[in-house]
Chain A
């Protein structure tokens, strides 16, 4: 519908999710340029955290600043290295690793990546990436900038071991994640600003309250109907919105449902609202509950049988849901 003859010069059209996300990223990169000590970026799932890390690393490198990238696991470091190497083929990237690390093919295939256990071998690289544990063994070196990825997974005592290596830093992480873990139970440091059992971000902010905290406001992973549920449960204090709309992300079935099939009801609900809860009869069970496993498998099988078609911003015309596009999550490793 078009309205003719109405002039509303005062109200600007609301920004699209993509514009919002871009504005936020631009603001963060601008913050970096003027940051005295650094910036913290809170990122809900699928809000473009890795994209931000890669862009920030490349932009800092562009200005001639050397950047160390600190991630928590080798898997995460390889991910970032791969993305940096593929999007910035002209950028030399160092991958610092333990002696026994075998470079994964997805990193080794890039000519602009140098892998070494010694920081000295990588001095020529404007960007050097490694795990926090590896960085903790590096001495007598320093970087003007660090980018700390998954900073909410990092424990404060690990940050203490690496923080001497850099002057300023961009901390990026998902505040909805569980706090770091210790095998030791003690209240000895409760309430201290440098409590070693807290997350790196918590300790950093308590000592540097002036560091700006930004949020990536748009999740591209979660569909719109799921955002409210997730945001309320895990991000009660910041919140975020979905990058796509109900209309863009939806699912349809090519066969009709059986009234008698209990799984169909759950699938229909999920297709309509973005998520569904399939409730088993209430009873106490062992953690690896065969009944729950069977139900998960049956739901997945039924989803395939029903010939589901998923529509998204990447597949506007719809793509049929095949087995490789179904993920099953569990709360504990042994349940998988």
Chain B
């Protein structure tokens, strides 16, 4: 364990580490400026538990009905060596596959480290990629030329913020003629050829994470990125039934976005350098595992790591209520565009002070002293913001026939 790992382990404390998955990486990539999330995810902190203990439980629970349905659908598609999936690939995507082998890579005997499992996955993938039909003994040359290989639950890893995050996706890497395709099975419905846009977008970005990770794994063995297709395959129930249907997703755009966002992520080492050496999110469990740490003390520790809250966090991050409370009074908490709309002024109180002073004197307010981090010199941007806000306030008051 190197210095960074030891440091992260200390931050996590005695709790078991949580591993990244495509969803957490996608969420991280959607808000790359949030150091709090980056540190917590890197350290494998159980954010849900942490937020709850600090007094801000998030409602990220999942209904057992949804879980049951999701699992049943996945099992149905993968049953009998993924026979159903094979049929879909043939019929919907017109892939000429006479047969395909199916390997579940999660079935590794004994207690093997993530790293070893990853190495095994990588070797299996490499063998399949290099000589398409060596992964399975090809007893029939005619079939072999077009036979496919499916790897279920490959253990992948991706470099996030300068260190590797292991991914254990519920995905199938389907390989035919030397090229892999990522297959994702989701239980949201495709109705009359259309599905919920947000869900498809989320699935696409997750698939892109897997494509990247697969390419990384193969790149280490000198296999070029083209060995993994830009098109992924999404399998969903059709209409109101539980019959699966497959669709191709072109994730080139998502790959571009993801690569850019991942490269923007600060390096975990750099972020750690800004933190006090004794920082820990350990909950101080007693003998029965019941946390003894004072919530206020934990909250103080959390606040040591800077967050970048936006209302969108409410959909993606377990820390959202904690951060929202912290961000109360900031214009960014009022909506995606509120900060821009309000001339870039960061605090609601400053907005209203500027408005009132401007209305009282009929002139823009002089350089305010309270807005942190703002240029206070003459001709600063605050004068312009004050102008904009004064116009807005004047129009609002005039139209309502009242004072602000």
- Cβ A284 vs Cβ B340 within 8 A: yes
Contacts of B375 in A (CB 8 A): 281, 283
Using known A-B contacts A190-B194, A191-B195, determine if residue A286 contacts B388 with beta carbons closer than 8 Å: yes
A 278-311 contacts with B by CB, 8 A: 281, 283-291
B388 touches A191 (CB 8 A): no
Is A247 at the interface (CB under 8 A from chain B)?
A: no
CB pair B385 A286 closer than 8 Å: yes
Using a CB-CB cutoff of 8 Å, which residues 323-345 of chain B contact chain A?
339-340, 343-345
Interfacial chain B residues near A283, Cβ < 8 Å: 344, 373-375, 381
Residues of B within 8 A of A (CB): 193-195, 197, 252, 256, 339-340, 343-346, 373-375, 379, 381, 384-385, 388
CB proximity of B338 to chain A, nearest CB, Å: 11
Is A187 in contact with chain B by the CB < 8 A criterion?
A: yes
A-B CB pair tally, cutoff 8 Å: 44
A291: B residues at CB distance < 8 A: 381
* 10 A-B pairs with C-beta separation under 8 A: A187-B194, A190-B194, A191-B193, A191-B195, A284-B339, A284-B343, A284-B344, A285-B381, A286-B344, A290-B381
With A and B bound together, what is the CA distance between A281 and B381 in angstroms?
11
Closest chain B CB from A231 CB (angstroms): 12
**Which residues in A have their C-beta under 8 angstroms from that of B379?**
290
Add 13 more A-B contacts to A190-B197, A286-B381, A286-B388 (CB < 8 A): A187-B194, A187-B197, A191-B193, A192-B193, A192-B194, A283-B373, A283-B375, A284-B345, A284-B346, A284-B381, A285-B384, A286-B384, A287-B340
Bound-state CA distance A290–B384 (Å) is: 8
CB distance from B378 to the nearest CB of A (A): 12
Q: Residue A236 at the B interface, CB < 8 A?
A: yes
**A216-238 interface bits toward B, Cβ cutoff 8 Å, 1 = contact, 0 = none:** 00000000000000000000110
Which residues of chain A from 174 to 210 have any CB-CB distance to chain B below 8 Å in the complex?
A: 187, 190-192
**Structural contact, B197 and A289, CB atoms closer than 8 A:** no
Contacts of A284 in B (CB 8 A): 339-340, 343-346, 381
| Closest A residue to B388 using CB positions | A286
Complex CA–CA separation, A286 to B383 (angstroms):
10
Q: How far is the CA of A287 from the CA of B343 in the complex (A)?
A: 8
Most chain B C-beta atoms within 10 Å of own C-beta, residue among A191, A237, A281, A288:
A191
Q: What's the Cα separation between A284 and B193 when bound, in Å?
A: 43
A15 to B243, CA, bound (A): 54
B339 to A, closest residue via Cβ: A284
Quick one: given A236-B256, A290-B384, are A285 and B194 in contact (CB under 8 Å)?
no
Question: Which of A281, A283, A286, A290 has the most chain B CB within a 10 Å cutoff?
Answer: A286
A236 touches B252 (CB 8 A): yes
Given contacts A187-B197, A190-B194, A192-B194, contact A285 B385 (CB under 8 A): yes
* A residues less than 8 Å from B384 (CB atoms): 285-286, 288-290
For B195, the chain A residues whose CB sits under 8 A away are 191
Q: Which residues of the partner chain B approach A192 to less than 8 Å between Cβ atoms? A: 193-194
Which 3 pairs from chain A and chain B are nearest by CB? A284-B344, A286-B343, A285-B381
Instruction: Give the docked Cα–Cα distance between A281 and B345 (Å).
Output: 15
CB contacts (< 8 Å) of B373 on chain A: these are 283
In the assembled complex, how far is the CB of residue A192 from the closest CB belonging to chain B, in whole angstroms?
7
B21 to chain A: closest CB distance in Å?
26
By a CB distance below 8 angstroms, the chain A residues around B388 are 286
CB of A191 within 8 A of CB of B194, answer: yes
Question: Cβ of A287: which chain B residues have Cβ within 8 Å of it?
Answer: 340
* Nearest B residue (CB) for A284: B344
| A237 to B251 alpha-carbon distance, docked (Å) | 12
Task: Return the chain B residue nearest A236 by Cβ.
Answer: B256
* Min CB gap B361→A, angstroms: 20
- Residues from chain A with a CB closer than 8 A to the CB of B256 are 236
Closest B residue, CB atoms, query A232: B256
Q: Which residues of B contact A191 (CB under 8 A)?
A: 193-195
Roughly how many angstroms separate A60 CA and B190 CA in the complex, as a whole number? 46
The CA-CA distance from A285 to B344 in the complex, in Å, is 5
Q: Would A237 and B252 count as touching, CB distance under 8 A?
A: yes
Cβ < 8 Å to B, chain A residues 246-295:
281, 283-291
Given contacts A236-B256, A283-B344, A283-B375, contact A289 B194 (CB under 8 A): no
> CB-nearest residue of chain A relative to B346?
A284
The minimal Cβ–Cβ distance linking B281 to chain A, given in whole angstroms, is: 30
The interface residues of chain A lying within 8 Å CB-to-CB of B374 are: 283
With CB as the reference atom, state the residue of chain B lying closest to A193: B193
Instruction: List the A residue with the shortest CB-CB distance to B374.
Output: A283
Closest A-chain residue to B384, C-beta based?
A286
The answer for the CA separation of A289 and B344 in the assembled complex, in Å, is 10
- Measured in the bound complex, the distance between the Cα atoms of B252 and A283 in whole Å is 32
CB distance from A163 to the nearest CB of B (A): 23
Contacts of B385 in A (CB 8 A): 285-286
Residues of A within 8 A of B381 (CB): 283-286, 289-291
| Complex CA distance for A286 and B381, rounded to whole angstroms | 8
Q: Residue on B with the closest CB to A282? A: B373
The residue in chain A whose Cβ has the minimal distance to the Cβ of B253 is A236
Q: Smallest CB-CB separation from B373: which chain A residue?
A: A283
B59 to chain A, nearest CB (A): 25
Q: Contact at A285–B197, with CB atoms within 8 Å?
A: no
Give the nearest-CB partner of B197 in chain A: A187
Q: Complex: how many Å from CA A289 to CA B197?
A: 35
The minimal Cβ–Cβ distance linking A178 to chain B, given in whole angstroms, is: 14
Give the Cβ gap from A88 to chain B, nearest Cβ, in Å.
40
Q: How far is the CA of A144 from the CA of B193 in the complex (A)?
A: 35
Chain A nearest CB from B215 CB (Å) reads 16
Bound CA–CA A287/B374 (angstroms): 17
